[in-house]
Amino acid sequence: MKRSVFFLAVLLCLGRPAEPGATEAKPPEFYLPAAKAGDIEAQIRLADMYFNGSGVPQDYGEARKWYHKAAKQGDAFAQTVLGHIYLDGLGLMINHANSEAIKWYRRAAEQGYPPGQFGFGNMHYNGFGTERSYAKAMIWFSKAAEKGYAKAQANLGYMYENGDGIPKDPGKAAKWYRKAGEQGHLIAQDSLGVMYRKGLGVPRNDTKAAYWFLKAAEQGLADAQISLGTFYFEGLGVPQDYELAAVWFRKAAAQYNAFAQAVLGDMYRDGLGVAQDLAEAAAWYRKAGEQGDAVAQKNLGRMYREGRGVPRNETEAEKWLRKAAEQG
């Protein structure tokens, strides 16, 4: 089972929350006079519209202009989003502008704004716009995490789990993954599931592992869907149920996960949780094989050699068996 942990390098901007009592979106013309007069809230509303393409064509350059005006007046939200825009090079002639990104993240972070602290910590963690410093990343992630910011909590968990600049501490890793997971952070949920499965920082408990895998799987994380499918297939922490295993493997396979596609091939070949269908098995092996899965390549080669689910074809058999052999 492959596990992925993604260190977020950017802030997902969904815009400032709507004004209290607002019942419908207002056109940009409504905010423009106040924005031009220096009203921070109007500037941000206008910037949000251009950033998200809400009521106007999406225009990162125009969004940047209005966020910049608000950021210069000290608004931490605008400063953080501006950091994101410069980090990703949105609307710029260059791919990244890390020196500008870290400048604006710093300003937001120094005001105690958790998303800004998270962004500033990420710049130090990745060495964007500054020398890489796990120690400084830890400081800023900790500040945001203590204020309940889930992304920072997940990143702290990752650092403690992997010993990034600090001694490994599975107990602290599990603690921070739990805090983030309870807020719905899917990577943290999956990571906590892995820790319960392996008994890292917490007592080994397959039932709790399945619980956290389910949380992440329901949010669409392919790795968690594979883990949950495996648990149902093997009866770990849940009653054995091949049909449910197939459901979760299919969800991961639909995201082009080669391992899940190969397992689905096995299940169709053997009639486990699905009606036996050799042609369908071959189709899934092909999908996985085309992505380089050696086991799927070998199985597809054998099916061509034996004429099971596909017409017998020695040329195709040799082709797929060779691809598998080349991977050792």
Do 225 and 272 sit in the same domain of this protein?
no
Residue 201 falls within a domain, yes or no? yes
What pLDDT sits at residue 14? 43
Torsion-angle region of 130 (φ positive above 0: left; ψ -120 to 50: alpha; else: beta): beta
Do 271 and 196 sit in the same domain of this protein?
no
How far apart CA 128 and CA 132 sit, in angstroms, is: 7
Residue 11 falls within a domain, yes or no? no
Do 137 and 198 sit in the same domain of this protein?
no
Nearby residues of 80 by Cβ (< 8 Å), 6 or more positions away: 11, 104, 105, 108, 113, 115, 116, 119
What pLDDT sits at residue 93? 62
What pLDDT sits at residue 132? 96
Q: Which domain holds residue 61?
A: 31-147
Do 210 and 135 sit in the same domain of this protein?
no
Residue 23 falls within a domain, yes or no? no
Q: Pick from 147, 178, 205: which residue ends a domain?
A: 147
pLDDT in tens, 16-52: 555 544 445 788 899 999 999 999 999 999 999 999 9
Number of domains in the chain: 3
Number of helices (H), then strands (E), belonging to the chain: the values are 17, 0
Do 102 and 181 sit in the same domain of this protein?
no
Do 197 and 293 sit in the same domain of this protein?
no
What pLDDT sits at residue 92? 76
Do 40 and 89 sit in the same domain of this protein?
yes
How far apart CA 214 and CA 194 sit, in angstroms, is: 12
Residue 81 CB: number of other CB atoms within 10 A? 31
Can you list the residues of the chain whose pLDDT is less than 50?
1-14, 20-23
From residue 251, alpha-carbon distances to 22, 164, 184, 259, 282 in Å are 38, 33, 20, 12, 18
Do 232 and 267 sit in the same domain of this protein?
no
Do 137 and 201 sit in the same domain of this protein?
no
| CATH code for position 60 | 1.25.40.10
Query: Could you tell me the maximum CA-CA distance found in the chain, to the nearest angstrom?
Result: 77
Do 161 and 139 sit in the same domain of this protein?
no
Could you tell me how many residues make up the chain? 328
What pLDDT sits at residue 15? 56
Residue 18 falls within a domain, yes or no? no
Residue 20 falls within a domain, yes or no? no
Residue 264 falls within a domain, yes or no? yes
Residue 21 CB: number of other CB atoms within 10 A? 5
